[in-house]
C-alpha cells in the first residue's frame, strides 16, 4: 500500500515536472494555474493547488503554536524564517493573481488598470493582501504600536484562503451573495421590530422596571428575546409586559424561520443548477463517444468535475444513470443494467 502510494506520488510529480518544462508562462497560463482546475490531466495546476493549500494549513498551525510562550521562545528564529518563506510565496501568488486577473471577462472589459484595481478590492483579493501585511508591519517596526495578538488574528485570516479550494464553501458564499437583497430586507424588518419592541416595552414598564428605563436600554432585551437567547438585563415584571414578551419571542421564531427558508431555498436552487450543469457534461461526454457509452477518459473528467462541484460519487452516478436511461429508453437490457447499478449504489 505504501509502495503504491509513493509510486503514484512520484509519477504525479514527474508528470507535473514534464508539464512545467513544456509550459510557456503566459498570462493566460498563469491564470489557469492559479484557478482551481477541473482538468484531471493538468498535473501542474493540481500541484500548485496542493502546495498553496499545504502552505495555508501549515501557517495556521504555526500561528497557533507561536501563541504558546514556551514554543515561541525556543523556536522564534524557525517561526520567523517560515513566516518569511510563506510571505514570499503568498506575495508572489498575490502579484500573479493581480497580473492575470484580466483574463476574466468582467475585469478585462474594465481595462488593464481599472480591471486590476477592481479585482484588488474583491473580498478574496483583500484576504490575500491581509495575509502578507503583518510581516511587513513587523519589519517596519510598527509592531510596537500594534498588539501582537491583533497581528496574529490578521495572520489567521490566511485560513479564509482555503475557501477558494473548497467547493462546499464556494457554494455557501454563492448562495449568500445571491440572497443578499432578500436577507437585507429581512434584516431591515428585524431592525424595525427591535425598535418597536423596545419602544413598547419602555412604554409598558419604563416607570416601574429599571431594566427598561430607556429605549436604547430596552433594545438589549428586544434583541435577546427575538434571537431566542433569553431575557438580557432582567425581563418584564407586569402582566402586560410578560404577554408582550411572549409575542416578541414568537415573532423572533417567525423571523428565524423566514431566514432559514430563504437560505434553504437558495441552497436547493444552487444544487439544481449544479446538477443541470453536471447533467449537460454527461450528455456531452455521451455524444462525443457516438452515443454508445461514456468512455473511460470522459468518466475520469466527470469524476474530477463532480468533486469540483461538491457532489458525492452516489449523486454523480445517479445523474449519469438518469441521462443514460433517457438515451437508452428503448434498450431493455441496458435499462436493466442501469437498474442493477443504481440498486448497488443505494445499497
Q: How far is residue 289's CA from residue 311's CA, in Å, rounded to a whole number?
A: 24
213-246 per-position pLDDT tens digit: 888 888 888 888 887 765 555 678 888 888 888 8
Q: How far is residue 319's CA from residue 338's CA, in Å, rounded to a whole number?
A: 11
Per-domain boundaries in the chain: 2-164, 166-311
For the beta carbon of residue 55, count every other beta carbon within 10 angstroms: 18
The answer on pLDDT for 192 being more than 80 is: yes
For the beta carbon of residue 278, count every other beta carbon within 10 angstroms: 21
15-68 per-position pLDDT tens digit: 888 888 888 888 888 888 888 776 767 888 888 888 888 988 898 888 888 888
In this structure, CATH architecture of domain 166-311? Orthogonal Bundle (1.10)
Q: How large is the average pLDDT for residues 124-153? A: 72
At 264 the three-state DSSP class reads helix
Q: How far is residue 27's CA from residue 11's CA, in Å, rounded to a whole number?
A: 27
On the question of a common fold for 2-164 and 166-311, the answer reads: no
Radius of gyration of the chain from its Cα atoms, rounded to whole angstroms: 28
Q: Which cell numbers hold the place of 64? A: 497557533
CATH for 2-164 is: 1.20.120.350
User: 302: buried, middle or exposed (CB in 10 Å: 19+, 13-18, 0-12)?
Assistant: buried
Cβ pair 234, 226 in contact under 8 A: no
90-106 per-position pLDDT tens digit: 999 999 999 999 998 88
The answer on pLDDT for 137 being more than 80 is: no
Amino acid at each position: 500500500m505504501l509502495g503504491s502510494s509513493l509510486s503514484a506520488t512520484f509519477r504525479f510529480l514527474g508528470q507535473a515536472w514534464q508539464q512545467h518544462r513544456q509550459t510557456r508562462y503566459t498570462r493566460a497560463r498563469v491564470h489557469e494555474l492559479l484557478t482551481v482546475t477541473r482538468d484531471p490531466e493538468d498535473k501542474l495546476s493540481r500541484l500548485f493547488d496542493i502546495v498553496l493549500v499545504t502552505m495555508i494549513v501549515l501557517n495556521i498551525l504555526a500561528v497557533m503554536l507561536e501563541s504558546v510562550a514556551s514554543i515561541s521562545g525556543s523556536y522564534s528564529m524557525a517561526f520567523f524564517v517560515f513566516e518569511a518563506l510563506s510571505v514570499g510565496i503568498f506575495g508572489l501568488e498575490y502579484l500573479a493573481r493581480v497580473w492575470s486577473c484580466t483574463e476574466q471577462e468582467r475585469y478585462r472589459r474594465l481595462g488593464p488598470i481599472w480591471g486590476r484595481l477592481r479585482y484588488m478590492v474583491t473580498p478574496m483579493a483583500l484576504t490575500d493582501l491581509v495575509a502578507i501585511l503583518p510581516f511587513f508591519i513587523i519589519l517596519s517596526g510598527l509592531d510596537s504600536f500594534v498588539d501582537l495578538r491583533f497581528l496574529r488574528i490578521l495572520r489567521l485570516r490566511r485560513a479564509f484562503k482555503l475557501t477558494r479550494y473548497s467547493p462546499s464553501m464556494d457554494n455557501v458564499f454563492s448562495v449568500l451573495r445571491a440572497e443578499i437583497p432578500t436577507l437585507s430586507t429581512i434584516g431591515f424588518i428585524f431592525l424595525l421590530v427591535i425598535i418597536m419592541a423596545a419602544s413598547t416595552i419602555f412604554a409598558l414598564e419604563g416607570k416601574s422596571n429599571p431594566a427598561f428605563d430607556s429605549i436604547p436600554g430596552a433594545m438589549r432585551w428586544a434583541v435577546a428575546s427575538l434571537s431566542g437567547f433569553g431575557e438580557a438585563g432582567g425581563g418584564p415584571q407586569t402582566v402586560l409586559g410578560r404577554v408582550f414578551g411572549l409575542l416578541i419571542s414568537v415573532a423572533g421564531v417567525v423571523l428565524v424561520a423566514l431566514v432559514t427558508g430563504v437560505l434553504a431555498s437558495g441552497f436547493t436552487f444552487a444544487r439544481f443548477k449544479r446538477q443541470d450543469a453536471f447533467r449537460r457534461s454527461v450528455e456531452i461526454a455521451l455524444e462525443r463517444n457516438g452515443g454508445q457509452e461514456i468512455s473511460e477518459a470522459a468518466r475520469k473528467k466527470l469524476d474530477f468535475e463532480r468533486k469540483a462541484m461538491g457532489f458525492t460519487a452516489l449523486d454523480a452516478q445517479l445523474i449519469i444513470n438518469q441521462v443514460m436511461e433517457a438515451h437508452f429508453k428503448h434498450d431493455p437490457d441496458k435499462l436493466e443494467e442501469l437498474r442493477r447499478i443504481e440498486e448497488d449504489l443505494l445499497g
